[in-house]
A and B are shown apart, each in its own frame.
Chain A
């Protein structure tokens, strides 16, 4: 029996539905890593699940990091008329703002459901919510218009990190403050390694499950490149213990932090999952039978340059000989 040639070829080549994280020859602009639309629907879905109840249960990581970020804001002796909370989610950071130092917070997030999860009565300061894409900040904010922009755990889903930092700097007034917290490269390394080992052993290859994340040393370079001055970058860790890998993955999903890498596999074989769970426990498990998950957080502070800021003196202008002092 003879098949027509076209049909034969069609049978040999199954329809390709995977999308790859690569630069197409027609693409303009920065490298795309994350599927922003998938991220938005994941977040919306996470927040609407059980009427927001499961989303509130998994606020612990964000609340903890927002709290530590607040400590850094309190060190800055300044009063703000408005603060922009970029990628605010449900306003974990805005909730901690104090009406004595801040009058108003503008929350910006691309997930509408997350943005409106909590009523205004939950916040001490006045809030304005703007549903907009974080990646195109300058479409939402005027250049040179803001006193302070903060971002608590949202920058790790931005495709063009150097670009967003430049936009933040542009949106700030001179001597404006940028305070950010983002997940660093060590985040969820246990999950990453377990899934990789399981995939190699079971299927013979690896695919992306945990996002690539920024290393600490790169953050200060990026801030400098974007034109911020007086930089402060520091690293902190939040370690959480879970009964097993399954609870960790469930909580990540409820946080809206599921995998959204372009070219991800939409499916993991149950053998691979079971294998990963066994490996996670043996390789990283705590003595009491629980498993740890590390969230590495990079805190960054940068200021938009202004003539009023202290600057280093010109080279060679020193009058005192350091030899005499020391």
Chain B
């Protein structure tokens, strides 16, 4: 079995992998941003950080949403 066939086909599983390993850097930046503001978090408090994280996920998933 080659490494490409190991990759899961279930979308949620793929999202899980991409959000924790492929896009780990962006995820960390976003998490740090929330951590800095979590006592006073509001909608789109970390919009820019999430935009990068989300873009990375969309690229990795090869899908748009």
A, B co-complexed: yes
Measured CB to CB, the residues of A under 8 A from B are 197, 200-204, 243-244, 246, 270-271, 273-275, 277-279, 281-283
Q: Which of A273, A278, A281 contacts B53 (CB 8 A)?
A: A278
A204/B53 in contact, CB under 8 A? no
A246/B50 in contact, CB under 8 A? no
Instruction: Count residues of B near A (Cβ-Cβ below 8 Å).
Output: 25
Number of A-B contacts (CB under 8 A): 75
A201/B53 in contact, CB under 8 A? no
Q: How far is the CB of B39 from chain A (nearest CB, A)?
A: 11
Chain A interface mostly: helix
> Chain B, 12-47, contact with A by CB distance < 8 Å: what is the 0/1 string?
110110011000000110111011001001111110
- Sorted from nearest, which 10 A-B pairs have the closest CB atoms? A282-B31, A204-B43, A246-B16, A278-B27, A278-B31, A274-B19, A244-B20, A278-B30, A282-B35, A279-B34
Q: How far is the CB of B15 from chain A (nearest CB, A)?
A: 6
Measured CA separation A277–B32 after assembly (Å): 12
A281/B45 in contact, CB under 8 A? no
A201 touching B31 in the complex, CB below 8 Å, given contacts A244-B16, A274-B19? no
A282/B19 in contact, CB under 8 A? no
Closest residue to B16 on the A side, CB-wise?
Answer: A246
Can you identify 8 A-B contacts, CB atoms within 8 angstroms?
A197-B34, A202-B43, A204-B44, A273-B19, A274-B53, A274-B57, A275-B34, A283-B38
B46/A281 in contact, CB under 8 A? no
What residues of chain A lie closer than 8 Å to B44, measured between beta carbons? 201, 204
Measured CA separation A202–B34 after assembly (Å): 11
